[in-house]
Amino acid sequence: MLREGNHHDARIDPAIPDRAPLPRADIRLRKVSVGPVAVFGSSNFPLAFSVAGGDTASALAAGSPVVVKAHSSHPGTSELVGRAVSAAVQEHGLHRGVFSLLFGSGAVVGIALVKHPLIKAVGFTGSRSAGLALVEAAADRPEPIPVYAEMSSTNPVFVLPGALATRAAELGEGWVGSVLTGTGQLCTSPGLVFIPEGPAADTFIAAAGEAVAETIATPMLNRAIASAFDGGAGAFRDHGGVREIARGAGDDDVAFGGVAQLYVTDSETFQADESCSRRYSGRPALFVTVRDMQQLTGILGGLEGQLTVTIQSDGAEPGAAELLDAAELKAGRVLFNGWPTGVEVGNAMVHGGPFPGTSNSQTTSVGTLAIERFQRPVSYQNIPADLLPEAVRDDNPLGIWRQRDGRLAKD
């Protein structure tokens, strides 16, 4: 992406000296770094969303120095990775200030970092409460700064009648494979599934239940997450309108062991009780049976913003287009068939979405577009040729695409 150079967003509007009634000056634009960036390592991805993860990579790519606050769940991994990044900084002769790593309490070190006047943007992946605390701290600064917080998502799956009729058992098993990845603690874990009621739904539920029942407990990330999971599961079990379908085997030798569990309820209970859609890492999975397509689309319209919405559909079956339109308003990524776990690091990926999926729906924390979070545009008016930045020089030394009078060209 850096070699292609599209992230410069280079634009040249050449001078028009004889324009009437007023001449036009030579004006050129490129994007520069916003300045130093604070990055918060997540608990659930000690590599991809931590010290040297996507936030750090996109901030460095934008030209921003990075200060990482290590997550307290994996200090050793953080130190190993931090030392590797520091060695690379030194090896390439970069300024030592390009990368720093801090350890300590989020409430103390983290907030102090966000409040520091030199920090100009924040990248974060974690819980809604921690994310909103950073948003609030950043808004309370004398100079408010943007916080790109990826906070939480239930990643709802909508199963359409056609898909259910032809591959109910396959869908049930496929779903279990996705939802149990990482003991359900992935940001994109599809923990909430809506299914049209009927015999095919029963097949789907039975297949999923059988797969869940075959599992053995796996470790969750830390005590707080394991405890929230157990609390949520207990609330489902005690809930008059929610029924337990299946449960995996426990294992006392596994620290913070998460036992896979599957619950089912109906749409009335789901819509009447906010706790059924509450989001937190590794929440126990819930199926919701619905009466018809109209109710399915209505439920989607009532949900909060999500990282992903998945539609299981046999191509363009009735109602699929309407559901897709509704999903686009709720999520940063919409999938047909397939499962939302497994976030491709590419040019077309959006790992983001409307609030409270993230604190800023206008970007992504995964993929090449993530660089935009840490850039700002600058106009150069009537600057002498030899002082212009390379991205907007007439001879285009970077060989990049640029908008010339609004049209993309390389020369």
Of 110 and 352, which CB lies nearer to a copy of itself in the complex structure? Answer: 352
Of 91 and 407, which CB lies nearer to a copy of itself in the complex structure? Answer: 407
366-394: burial string, b at 16+ Cβ within 10 Å, e else? bbbbbbbbbbeeeebeeeeeeebeebbbe
- What is the identity of the amino acid at 373? R
Identify any residues that bridge with 218 across adjacent strands, giving them in sequence order.
258
Phi-psi region of 183 (alpha: psi -120 to 50; beta: other; left: phi over 0): left
Quick check: 38 and 55 in contact, CB under 8 A? Answer: no
293-322: burial string, b at 16+ Cβ within 10 Å, e else? bebbbebbeebebbbbbbbbbbeebebbee
Kindly state the tokens that stand for 287.
């199926």
Of 94 and 316, which CB lies nearer to a copy of itself in the complex structure? Answer: 316
Please confirm whether the linkage preceding 190 is cis (ω < 30° from 0): no
Q: CA dist 64 to 35, 76, 137, 151, 320, Å? A: 5, 25, 21, 23, 43
Phi-psi region of 113 (alpha: psi -120 to 50; beta: other; left: phi over 0): alpha
Kindly state the tokens that stand for 273.
């009780």
CB 383 to a copy of itself: min, Å: 5
- DSSP labels, 55-109: HHHHHHHHT--EEEE--TT-HHHHHHHHHHHHHHHHHTT--GGGEEEE-S-IIII
How buried is 152 (Cβ within 10 angstroms: 0-12 exposed, 13-18 middle, 19+ buried)? buried
Active site residues: 150, 187
CA distance 100 to 117: 16
Of 107 and 139, which CB lies nearer to a copy of itself in the complex structure? Answer: 139
Quick check: 409 and 402 in contact, CB under 8 A? Answer: yes
- What is the identity of the amino acid at 334? V
CB 156 to a copy of itself: min, Å: 15
CA distance 150 to 12: 35
